[in-house]
């Protein structure tokens, strides 16, 4: 890298956690860089086509260095899954503590879920399937996915009870929401036309109101003006 190139932030270039900067990096920062680099490699090449050697090479370190932070590739996939999931779990915790209608609270969860899936961890979150993980990690993945699913169903049920949501089957609705959002990992790439926040706003609108035109007296906007405006920008891409 030429000296004139701006130093990438750790988020933009995980390898920067190792090189260039003289100050000592802590164990957690380097471990995060390993996980982030793995997430990007799995996304680009697929889990089965990515070796720990590839990840070490991307970071400019040796494979034993990788082993210092994670015991194996399976654990790396699991760690990517956890890193991506945490913002969604945090959004659900906030929703549980917030006042407001079920729909208002679910809206924020959908937004933050979309942003999380549009992150570099999105592909791992969607790909962390039981056939790639041993029984113990697989059980943990299923448990955490169920926790998210139950949280969304609870908010749907709250919205049905308070009249802010009109679906007949919260279980199917939760699957539809999760599907639309998880799929973002299949098509979204950062740095193209839309930011993850713009995608999230557009998905909130779609999931709340569907494809059908709203009746004249049902047309009041449901996001704050700022968010509606950003979704409008997304619409032009």
* DSSP code for 6: P
In the complex, the smallest distance separating the C-beta of residue 56 from a copy of itself, rounded to whole angstroms, is: 20
In the complex, the smallest distance separating the C-beta of residue 21 from a copy of itself, rounded to whole angstroms, is: 34
CA end-to-end span of the chain: 33
Binding site for a copy of itself (CB under 8 A): 45-46, 48-49, 103, 106, 129, 131-132, 156, 159, 163-169, 171-173, 175-184, 186-187, 199, 202-203, 205-219, 222, 231-232, 234-237
Torsion of CA 45, 143, 180, 236, to 10 degrees: -70
Which is closer to a copy of itself, CB of 33 or CB of 202?
Answer: 202
In angstroms, the CA 158 to CA 152 distance is: 10
Contact 152, 166 (CB under 8 A): no
In the complex, the smallest distance separating the C-beta of residue 136 from a copy of itself, rounded to whole angstroms, is: 17
In the complex, the smallest distance separating the C-beta of residue 132 from a copy of itself, rounded to whole angstroms, is: 7
Which is closer to a copy of itself, CB of 69 or CB of 203?
Answer: 203
In the complex, the smallest distance separating the C-beta of residue 186 from a copy of itself, rounded to whole angstroms, is: 7
Q: Write the CA distances from 40 to 2, 20, 120, 147, 231, integer angstroms.
A: 23, 21, 6, 26, 27
In the complex, the smallest distance separating the C-beta of residue 31 from a copy of itself, rounded to whole angstroms, is: 26
Q: Write the CA distances from 160 to 69, 169, 228, integer angstroms.
A: 45, 10, 24
- Rounded to 5°, angle at Cα 197 from 191 and 202: 110
Contact 203, 181 (CB under 8 A): yes
Which is closer to a copy of itself, CB of 57 or CB of 167?
Answer: 167
HSE-CB at 234 with a 13 A cutoff on CA atoms is: 20
Which is closer to a copy of itself, CB of 15 or CB of 234?
Answer: 234
Which is closer to a copy of itself, CB of 22 or CB of 48?
Answer: 48
Which is closer to a copy of itself, CB of 18 or CB of 208?
Answer: 208
Q: Which two tokens stand for residue 32?
A: 């995060």
């Amino acid at each position: 890298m030429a000296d004139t190139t701006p130093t990438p932030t750790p988020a933009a270039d995980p390898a920067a956690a190792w090189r260039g900067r003289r100050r000592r990096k802590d164990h957690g920062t380097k471990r995060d860089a390993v996980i982030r680099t793995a997430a990007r490699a799995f996304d680009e090449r697929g889990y089965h086509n990515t070796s720990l050697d590839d990840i070490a090479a991307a970071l400019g370190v040796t494979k034993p260095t990788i082993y210092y932070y994670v015991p194996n590739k399976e654990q790396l996939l699991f760690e990517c899954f956890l890193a991506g999931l945490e913002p969604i779990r945090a959004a659900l915790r906030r929703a549980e503590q917030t006042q407001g209608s079920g729909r208002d609270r679910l809206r924020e969860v959908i937004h933050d879920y979309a942003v999380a899936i549009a992150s570099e961890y999105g592909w791992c979150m969607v790909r962390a399937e039981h056939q790639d993980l041993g029984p113990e990690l697989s059980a943990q993945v299923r448990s955490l996915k169920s926790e998210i699913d139950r949280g969304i169903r609870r908010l749907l049920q709250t919205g049905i009870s308070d009249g802010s949501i009109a679906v007949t089957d919260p279980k199917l609705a939760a699957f539809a929401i999760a599907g639309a959002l998880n799929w973002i990992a299949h098509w979204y790439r950062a740095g193209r036309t839309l930011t993850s926040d713009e995608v999230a706003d557009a998905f909130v609108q779609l999931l709340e109101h569907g494809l059908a035109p709203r009746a004249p007296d049902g047309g009041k906007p449901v996001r704050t003006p700022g968010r509606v405006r950003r979704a409008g920008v997304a619409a032009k891409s």
